[in-house]
Amino acid sequence: MLEQKLAASRVLPVVTARDVDSTVALARALEKGGMTAIEITLRTPAALDAIVAVREELPGLLVAAGTVNTPEEVARVVDAGVELALSPGATPALLQAAADAPLDFVPGVASSSDIMQAQAHGFELLKLFPAVTLGGKGMLKALGGPFPDVKFCPTGGLNPDNFRDFLALPNVVCCGGSWMVASSLVDNGRWDEIETLAREAMSEQ
C-alpha cells in the first residue's frame, strides 16, 4: 500500500539529477544511510535516464519521479517503468491522466479547493507544497478538520530542525526534503556526509 510505503520512508529526498552516475552514487549513499525511497525530479535532461539507472542498480529502493506536471510527463514516466510520481501542483488534465495511468500518484495542493479537486479524481494522499510558506504545521492542523481522510506529504522549507514536528502530525504520512542531497554535497562527491545525513533523518531522535 502506498501510504504504508511512504510512512516507512519517513523522508523522501528530493533529488535533481545532474547526470546518471552521480545520481546512482547519491542514491546508493542514501540507501546505505537507511533511506528506502528517493524522488528524482524531472527538472533536467538526465532525469529519466537517472530514474531508470537507479531502479536497475538499487532494486530495493522505491524510486519516484517528481515534478511530473503534464499528462505527457505522466506517459513518459510510465514508459520508464516508474511506479510512483509526484507533482508540485495539479490541473484537471494532469489529475485525470494520473488517475488513468498504471502508477501511484501524489498530486500537489496548496489550498482547500486544490484538495477538493484532487479528491474528485480519487486522490487522498497529497503533497502540500510549499509547505512552510503556506503555513506549515498550522495549516496542516487546520486542514485536518474539513478533510479528516486526507493524508499529506509536506514538502518545501522542511529541514533537520523542523521535519520531525511535521511527522508527528496525525495527517502527515511522510515529508519531502533536500537538505541531505544539497548540491554542495553532490557536486563534491561527499557521499559519506550524505549517508550520515540520511541516517540522521531516519532516526526517531
CB 59 within 8 A of CB 81: no
| First vs last C-alpha separation in the chain | 26
Is the pTM for the entire model greater than 0.85? yes
- Boundaries of domain holding 30: 2-199
Question: What is the spatial order of strands in the sheet that 62-66 belongs to?
Answer: 104-106, 84-86, 62-66, 37-41, 11-16, 175-177
Grid cell in block for residue 115: 484538495
- For position 88, which CATH number holds? 3.20.20.70
pLDDT at 204: 80
pLDDT tens digits, one per residue of 90-103:
999 999 999 999 99
141 in catalytic set = no
Count how many domains the chain has.
Answer: 1
Catalytically annotated residue among 31, 39, 73, 195? 39
Residues 143-163 pLDDT 10s? 999 999 999 999 999 999 999
151 is a catalytic site residue: no
- In-domain check, residue 106: yes
Selecting among 31, 127, 151, 195, the annotated active-site residue is 127
- Asked if the structure places residue 205 within a domain, the reply is no
Domain presence at residue 30: yes
Q: Mean pLDDT across the stretch 47-55? A: 98
